[in-house]
Structure 1
Amino acid sequence: MKILVISNLYPPDALGGYEMGCRQVVENLRARGHEVRVLTTAPRTPVASPPHVRRTLRLTDMWVDYHMSRCATVTQLLDESESHRINAFNVHALLAELDDFEPDVAYVWMLTGIGGLGLMAALHHLRVPWVWHLMDDVPATLCQLDNRVVPALAREIERQLRGHTIACSQQLVDEIERRGIRLQGEVEIVPNWVAGPIPPLRSEFYQGDRPLRIVASAAHIDRCYDKGMDLLIKAAATLRDQGRENFSLDIFGQVNDSFYGDLIKTNHLSGLVKLRGSLKQADLIAAYQDYDIFAFPARLREPCAFAPLEAAPSGCVTVMSILSGNSEWLVHGVHCLKVPRTSDGFAHMFGEILDGRVDLEPIGRRGALAVRRDFHLDKLLPRIEQILTKAARQTRDGAGTTDEVYRLALLAEKLTSILIQEPYCA
């Protein structure tokens, strides 16, 4: 198959697991003989790009909090519109790729930051078959104006966008529906995965005869994209206050917010809790072998994360928030341990382990087996191929023209800009 992958970012230019997962699937599809081209944005820092990666889109970077929190309201709204709804420049770039590559199917990933609604509308107008791989509530985000879903936009997505969707959890599908959008067409639930060589299962597990080694990780550690690291620091303070100091907590990730370092110092935890900075993905996965527990508070609405799955094959037991989408795939006390998303919830479970009331070895062995057996990309890729193949058979009857698409994109962009600016020009 000829597959056109569309993503706002593509590694090594990445924010987190969504983009990393995209690259893993692309590389595996190419290895299986498919002709894959990636359409993505110009990188935010210089990176090398192989011939199959076309960096011709323009990114509206909504993740720069310094800019978004300090610019005028009208500028925020214009940026949000260009990011979520329509960017005629990017529609033009998409049309050029469709004309040059002539794909059998478009494989759509994260669209925030590139005028995602406009790109999906272009595919719809041209009747290009598509599969949308969702690892976040992207359809709802694209319908937001000033952080609220616009009902009219949500209704139009429901009415017009009928294709094939892959979602990483039922929790994510339910969340998108709660926000006002029922995904139309065929929806398949495919979990996130581990990829590549699997680290060996450890021969020794924690038995209480040494300090308990706890690890947590996130691509970015800050309050704007809250992964709950403050809950773990507070849990460590609770354990210490209870007289338990036979543990360590290492947190990996790029620290963008001094709040976390200050929280460690304020609670006098410098001897127990360390901010370790970022590691490359392969190095981080290898490092999990040196820890007993992977602590995973997750975002309040985490659809399904890669990190707990990457920690499990070596026997590192995940203690996860019950709110996480990962929790629908794994069983408490069998493959993992689930707790409320509170500092007390994590402190209580850590205390149970420290006091010997929870045996990590059987959980670690079963969790490692489950991930190796059911969550490796080699196992899941055939399902993804089947979905792409089925979508590619879709009829293209009634397709419009590229000229029509571009004229509509220009009109939508100009009208949107006028409607946003008018109230501020009165």
Structure 2
Amino acid sequence: MRLLLLSNLYPPDVLGGYELLARDVTDHLRARGHDVHVLTSGPARSDDPSYVHRSLELASPFDQPASLDRLRHARMARQHRDASRSVAKLGFDGAVVMSLRRLGFHAVRPLQEAGLRPVYCFNDDWLLSLRPYEAASPAVRLAWRMLERGPLASRTWSDIRIDHAVYVSRSIRDALVNAGAPVPPGVVCFQGVDRKLFWKRPATPTASPLKLLYAGRIHPTKGCDIAIRALGRLARAGFAATLTLAGTGSAEELDRLRGVARDEQVEALVTFAGFVERTKLGDVYRAHDVFLFPSIWEEPAGLTYLEAMACGVPVVALARGGAKELLVDRDNCRVVDGDETMASAIRELAGDTALVERIVDGGVRTVERRASLDRYVETIENAVIQARKAA
């Protein structure tokens, strides 16, 4: 099939896992014999493959407030429609929509008008950023309703048909349904781990000091301060451990975390490793003894703890959001609720080889059965086939 994948960002423009997943889905669909083209934002790059079309524009960059995005969408509407119609001339059999946050539906409408029924992949709540405007004042609400029926019509989900969807967890599906989004039951399938990059290491004895790892975006919602405070508790108890934080974040958040490390008197034990290339991330997991997943928000699913599991690294996690659907205490991880229980779980793993082996085996089994990339891509492929039959 000839397929179009629509995404607000595409590597090397990356905020987190969503954009990397867009590339993974593209690469794996192409490997399965499909002719996949990508329509996304950003200036054209000399190293882009010919099937990547950077013809779209974000309403505003992600490092700027989105407060005026509703008005900016009106300016972008024609450009996005023209870009979509131009690419659509290639003649697509189906379309896959990743995130449209800060893009709007301008590029989707021409595809819908051409008879395509896109498959929407919901890995977070981006759809809610495109809901019709809600205001407390009846007069303001009426004014926006008139605008969204006119020049801002393409900015919201009005008149958009979402008939086919793949959700990364029941948690995100329920969140969208409960918020009134026009979504179908769809299919739930956890985003997958690429086993070619993230393979299980041989069993290795734990070292001293114990090497702890967090990998992912450095953001207040990710709970990195919990990991640092857990390290502080271990240090005060005389337990030797170090912590590596692999990922990028704002200067303000990095400064805040360095302050937490100073307060805990573990500055010398914490390494801020910065950005790690995806192709090297598996080696980083395998070089550590325990992976920490301290996310404090209702994350739709999360990916890094699954990558760590695939690499044979025991995981200590706060189980919230979609992660609750996968994480089982003492079966594929240790589930904790804060820095005190995290420190206790780390010490337990260091002294219980049988528990580590059980958790590692359970983690690998979880990835193989419920979170492989091949399974995720196959689910999308089947949804596209069903959408094509229903069109």
| TMscore range, shorter length | 0.7 to 0.9
* Match of residue 187 from structure 1: 186
* Match of residue 292 from structure 2: 295
Secondary structure, counterpart of 1:77 in structure 2: coil
Secondary structure, counterpart of 2:106 in structure 1: helix
Does residue 1:139 correspond to 2:127, yes or no?
Answer: yes
Asked if the contact 2:197/2:279 (under 8 Å) is kept, the reply is: no
Asked if the contact 1:296/1:320 (under 8 Å) is kept, the reply is: yes
Relative to the length of structure 2, the TM-score reads: 0.86
| Offset, 1:310 | 1.2
Counterpart mapping for 1:104-123 below 5 A? 104-114=93-103, 116-123=104-111
Unaligned runs of 5+ residues in structure 1 are 69-75, 396-426
Secondary structure, counterpart of 2:291 in structure 1: strand
Asked if the contact 2:234/2:241 (under 8 Å) is kept, the reply is: no
Q: What is the one-letter code of the residue matched to 1:110? A: S
Go from structure 1 to structure 2 and tell me whether the alpha carbon gap of 1:299 and 1:94 turns closer, same or farther (over 3 Å shift).
farther
Counterpart mapping for 1:18-417 below 5 A? 18-43=18-43, 48-64=47-63, 67-68=64-65, 76-82=66-72, 87-98=77-88, 100-114=89-103, 116-143=104-131, 157=157, 160-184=160-184, 186-197=185-196, 199-206=198-205, 210-218=208-216, 220-223=217-220, 226-241=221-236, 243-257=237-251, 258-340=255-337, 342-354=338-350, 356=352, 359-395=355-391
Go from structure 1 to structure 2 and tell me whether the alpha carbon gap of 1:392 and 1:142 turns closer, same or farther (over 3 Å shift).
same
Q: What is the one-letter code of the residue matched to 1:77? A: S
Q: Distance in 1 between matches of 2:377 and 2:292?
A: 28
Secondary structure, counterpart of 2:50 in structure 1: coil
Asked if the contact 2:81/2:109 (under 8 Å) is kept, the reply is: no
Secondary structure, counterpart of 1:5 in structure 2: strand
Q: What is the one-letter code of the residue matched to 1:246? A: A
* Match of residue 153 from structure 2: none
Q: 1:299-349 CA distances to partner (integer Å, 9 max, x unpaired)? A: 502111221111112210121211141230242211122222x33342332
Asked if the contact 1:296/1:319 (under 8 Å) is kept, the reply is: yes
| Offset, 1:110 | 0.8
Relative to the length of structure 1, the TM-score reads: 0.79
Identical pairs, percent:
26
Secondary structure, counterpart of 1:166 in structure 2: strand
Q: Distance in 2 between matches of 1:171 and 1:348?
A: 28
**Alignment RMSD, CA only?**
2.9
Q: Distance in 2 between matches of 1:199 and 1:57?
A: 33
Secondary structure, counterpart of 1:39 in structure 2: strand
How many residue pairs are counted as aligned between the two chains? Answer: 373
| Offset, 1:117 | 3.2
Go from structure 1 to structure 2 and tell me whether the alpha carbon gap of 1:373 and 1:27 turns closer, same or farther (over 3 Å shift).
same
| Offset, 1:391 | 0.6
